[in-house]
Chains A and B, each alone.
Chain A
């Protein structure tokens, strides 16, 4: 589903060049539930953003569904994001002047689905998240957990192949975090690949595979150290 080959990424700020990803080799198969861990600044978000085609990379290659993702137009990128990827953010990123239902329905608007039809589908997803009664509430009337569930519903509505979540439980308390993780598990069981960036061990342990980043390289997968000099890293699936 997702394959990185010797992926490099640097940020240039003024005259400084910060080498953030220094040759990532990784393959993620369809239907995996993965967490990415690592210390702050290790490049987790950077890797996730590249995966979501929100950012570009400098060197190596990235294949999504066997498609080489490189130097594409913003139009094409938007289309691929809409088709393949659902995003869940730490800060929810709901649109403040749209109610829960409209927020969830928005990705379908960009697919030119009629208003009636997309609201119907959005309601379905809100119901799955147990938020039917909150459909017509504005984001500022919802709790953090509710907002995140609305955001998850929004990420799911286009039936993406991959869900990318950058610290989805970062702003939530423990019990709410576990509820959200249960939802991700259910999503994963329906066949969708889920990648979660997190700092919390207990969250990471609720996923099936833990990838640790360190200094822009993959340090370990499920605790097994990975030699970064390997050109090809064969990853076996653990359950």
Chain B
């Protein structure tokens, strides 16, 4: 492959008009550079949106009750109703596709936000009565201690897992919060763990750092919730879309609670999978747009190369004629011109690729250093596959850029080429 004469000629022609070469190369450089930067920016936006989202079980749905909007079986519209713990058991029995089902109670007997005190320290926090399975749907980072377990549920222990903000407010900095008691609306709970939320994007009105988890069963009794369930999270078994499970569970719940089968507004819900799909669709759209614009810019650069090669070929008509007179075959001439074009595009494109990736890296570092990674922009990056694709596009387009001029070069009869002055 390495043929000194070939390369000598390439450098020779490129050197003959340095400014022209640089300007031409810049077109390709800019095309790839823009493509990389735009892809990186797209990824940055995407990463920012999905940040604090990744660990959340995306095949999950949340369901709660609302007032009925249709009269049914003798009931008037506007009826209030609640899920019950029996519903939860029945759902598990009737829908085999359910993987986890986590019912929840919110608030205390006094309201949805509780007054929590410890000695003189106090704060207003949201209290969730949860099952251990909830941690499988929305994992928390346990900083110390543990999350609610099955024994807490079984023995209705008065224990609490508190968020980092709660710990900061109710405890001194050096203090170990474990085993200490806190007063939640008049009921004492022992702290068994401190958590830091991983998922910052999904919350139900409350700041996740200002939450307190207590066992579901404890909440039932301590806060007089009775047999109801405020809402529940559900995940589907692998391979089953959660929408299937969601639909089945809603249908059953309507049936059990005598709600009109068409009264969709009587049950509130949130299907994370659908939400993720929507966001994904948006970013796929952005990506497609970036590629179209990027490839367009790149094409402009490649056409520039092709143009310049046409001029070069024209300038060298006589030389090509001489070469053909002394035995250069058409393929040799074509090969030379294409190699030249590929070389020019490859070097310029590679520079664009490298500098683009490098710039993204720099932005990334700056973002990390300034701690601003949680904003609208996060980890702008391009992966290896995309960089490789871009590289392939460069080389292929370089070859195409050389094809037309090469064709032109050999379409002239050698004698006409020789006569060219």
Contacts and interface: CB of A to CB of B under 8 A. Distances in A.
Interface of A is mostly: helix
Contacts of B415: 49, 54-55
Nearest to B324: A78
A204 B415 CA distance: 25
Contacts of B332: 110
A93 B330 contact: no
Q: Can you list the 10 inter-chain pairs with the closest CB atoms, starting with the nearest? A: A82-B327, A54-B415, A110-B327, A55-B415, A107-B326, A78-B329, A93-B322, A97-B12, A54-B414, A110-B328
Nearest to B327: A82
Interface in B403-421: 410, 413-415, 418
Contacts, number: 64
28 contacts: A49-B415, A54-B414, A54-B415, A55-B413, A74-B330, A74-B414, A75-B331, A77-B414, A78-B324, A78-B327, A78-B328, A82-B326, A82-B327, A93-B322, A93-B325, A94-B322, A95-B319, A95-B322, A97-B9, A97-B12, A102-B5, A106-B323, A107-B326, A107-B327, A109-B5, A110-B332, A154-B326, A155-B326
A75 B326 contact: no
A115 B4 contact: yes
Contact of B329 (A54, A55, A75, A95): A75
Nearest to A93: B322
Interface in B268-303: none
A222 B322 CA distance: 32
B166 to A, nearest CB: 79
Given A97-B12, A158-B327, 5 more contacts: A52-B325, A54-B413, A75-B330, A78-B324, A107-B327
A94 B5 CA distance: 16
Given A93-B418, A97-B12, A110 B326 contact: yes
A158 B332 CA distance: 18
Contacts of A106: 323, 326
A154 B328 CA distance: 14
A125 interface: no
A79 B329 contact: yes
Interface in B315-340: 318-319, 322-332
A163 B413 CA distance: 21
A81 interface: yes
Contacts of A111: 327
Interface string A84-116: 000101000111110000100011011100010
Nearest to B325: A87
A81 B327 contact: yes
B332 to A, nearest CB: 7
A79 B325 CA distance: 10
A95 B318 CA distance: 9
State the majority secondary structure of interface residues on B: helix
Contacts of B4: 115
Nearest to B413: A55
Contact of A87 (B12, B318, B326): B326
A81 B326 contact: yes
Nearest to B5: A109
Nearest to A75: B329
A78 B418 contact: no
B382 to A, nearest CB: 40
B330 A78 contact: yes
Interface string B327-369: 1111110000000000000000000000000000000000000
B306 to A, nearest CB: 23
A19 B338 CA distance: 39
A95 B328 CA distance: 13
Nearest to A107: B326
Contacts of A52: 325
A107 B325 CA distance: 9
Nearest to B322: A93
B257 to A, nearest CB: 85
A128 to B, nearest CB: 18
B254 to A, nearest CB: 80
A78 B324 CA distance: 6
A89 B326 CA distance: 12
Contacts of B413: 54-55
Contacts of A155: 326
Given A95-B319, A95-B322, A74 B410 contact: yes
Contacts of B410: 74
Question: Residue among B325, B327, B413, B418 with the most chain A CB within 10 A?
Answer: B327
Nearest to A109: B5
B322 A81 contact: no
Contacts of A93: 318, 322, 325, 418
B325 A81 contact: yes
